[in-house]
Amino acid sequence: MDLKSGYPFWSIRNGLMRAYPRLEQDTQCEVAIVGGGVTAALIAHELLRHGHEVAVIEQRDIGWGSTSASTALLQYEIDTPMIELAKQHGMPAAALAYGACAQAILDLQGLCNTLGGTDFTRQDSL
């Protein structure tokens, strides 16, 4: 099996995403987001949901930066193990941090269910 093709997996699997025209003139917005990956999309969605005027600016096609090389695996863990985080900041803060990460995945699952057309699937383990 050839595990390295030189092409982003998601573009092969899903084809090209919608293309947008280049910004050829000045524009006005309340919030400008530089970068057109998954993080930018989620931030833009949340800001729009709260009534802000948003422009997403990307030098390449949308989703063709580091997002195109993503594994698309979501895990609630953060870089610091909970026991270490508790030593550094106390157990309540550590539990709050881990709880926020777990909630973020639930929120993203809800967004995927609302938008449809996604392959979001929960797994008990890798």
| pLDDT interval class at 2 (50, 70, 90) | low
| pLDDT tens track for 67-118 | 877 888 888 888 999 999 999 999 999 999 999 999 999 999 999 999 887 8
Predicted TM-score (pTM) of this structure: 0.75
| pLDDT tens track for 11-27 | 777 777 777 888 899 99
Q: Which residues, other chains included, contact 65 with Cβ-Cβ below 8 Å and sequence gap of 6+?
A: 35, 36, 37, 58
23: left (phi over 0), alpha (psi -120 to 50) or beta: beta
